[in-house]
Amino acid sequence: MDFNLTDEQAAIRDMARGFAASHIAPKALEWDENRHFPLDVLREAAALGMASIYTGEEFGGSGLSRLDAALVFEELAAGCPCVSAYLSIHNMCAWMIDAFGSREQRAKFLPMLVGMERAASYCLTEPDSGSDAAALSTRAERNGDHYVLNGRKQFISGAGNEADFYVAMVRTGGPGPKGISCLVIEGGTAGVSFGKNERKMGWNAQPTRAVVFEEARVPVANRLGAEGEGFRIAMAGLDGGRVNIGACSLGGARAALDKALAYTRERKAFGKRLVEFQALRFRLADMATELEAARGFLWRAACALDAKSPDATRLCAMAKRVATDRGFDIANDALQMLGGYGYLSDYGVEKIVRDLRVHQILEGTNEIMRLIVARGLIGG
């Protein structure tokens, strides 16, 4: 594997970095405080190809690689991890339709996702099935050329906004993973409603709601793949989602490290700048090393996913665990280095810590990542 970026990849990275610096970072604290979902800015990102990074070009996608996507999400997350993470979910949904949809479905749905005319959400988790996703109970009963849905999805990012669109896993058959199918549900469907916008520790710049189905009728033509293939589709989407969220953790951690470096260069104590104290120099060195190590691992997982390697699922789980754990630790260390100022919202580090904490939970908890890795080692 060549760790040197091509000229094209460097240009993609620089484009995302510039967009984050000019359009995201200046407003990130304001969006967090006001719980504002910046769809207008997300659509500006979409105009640059960032809403369909690894979706094929036939219906307007950028047709780039998972490694390219990791570069983009890291740079956007340096501006705001929450905004970057939502965009990663939208990209995952668009890719699932591109990868598993018919040509008719792709022609119908992808153009509205590429430009973010519709903002997509991924509906897998339920109130009683988080890590045990195969136990989901939202039911879809076939009735002629429609399914009738009843059930509830929980912790759905982006739900209930004015341009909603859902890729949902529902039960069309018996218990277990083979009874699950995947449906595309368009905003405004009768029988679809939403819970309150949850108050959260972080990720305040995107809404998180329950999505409730009560006799909601969804065309059979909106099913991705055959009945019973939904769990496989969901897991395939999560492989890439784990790389994406890991990249978002790296971007947030890098921003926190940069803030810590700037602070320790300026702040004085006991007659010296903080950066002159060996203990703090060593901590900064460790933070930078951990960030670089996690990035290298994440890039390896992204390349395995691009190559359709049989080890891709295991590597994505490993990389997600490492990147999100190390990313949170680096941000938390940065907050400590700023002392009392790190705890204040004005400096932006506490927001990064709050945003990155949930990355250790979503797209599969890091305990589930260990389970996936262990299965690869010992079977079962």
Active site residues: 363
Task: Please say whether the beta carbons of 120 and 187 come within 8 A.
Answer: no
Residue among 230, 220, 210, 89 at smallest CA distance from 159: 210
| CB count in 10 Å sphere of residue 273 | 13
C-alpha distances in angstroms, 28 versus 193, 289, 299, 359?
Answer: 29, 27, 27, 18
CA atoms within 13 A on the CB side of 122: 27
Q: Kindly calculate the radius of gyration of the chain based on its CA atoms and give it in whole angstroms.
A: 21
3-state helix, strand, coil in the chain (%, to 5): 60, 15, 25
Task: Please say whether the beta carbons of 327 and 252 come within 8 A.
Answer: yes
Instruction: Give the DSSP per-residue string, 284-340.
Output: HHHHHHHHHHHHHHHHHHHHHHHTT-TTHHHHHHHHHHHHHHHHHHHHHHHHHHTGG
Token digits of residue 339:
């002392």
Token digits of residue 147:
């399914």
Token digits of residue 11:
């240009």
**From CA 315, how far away is CA 356, in angstroms rounded?**
21
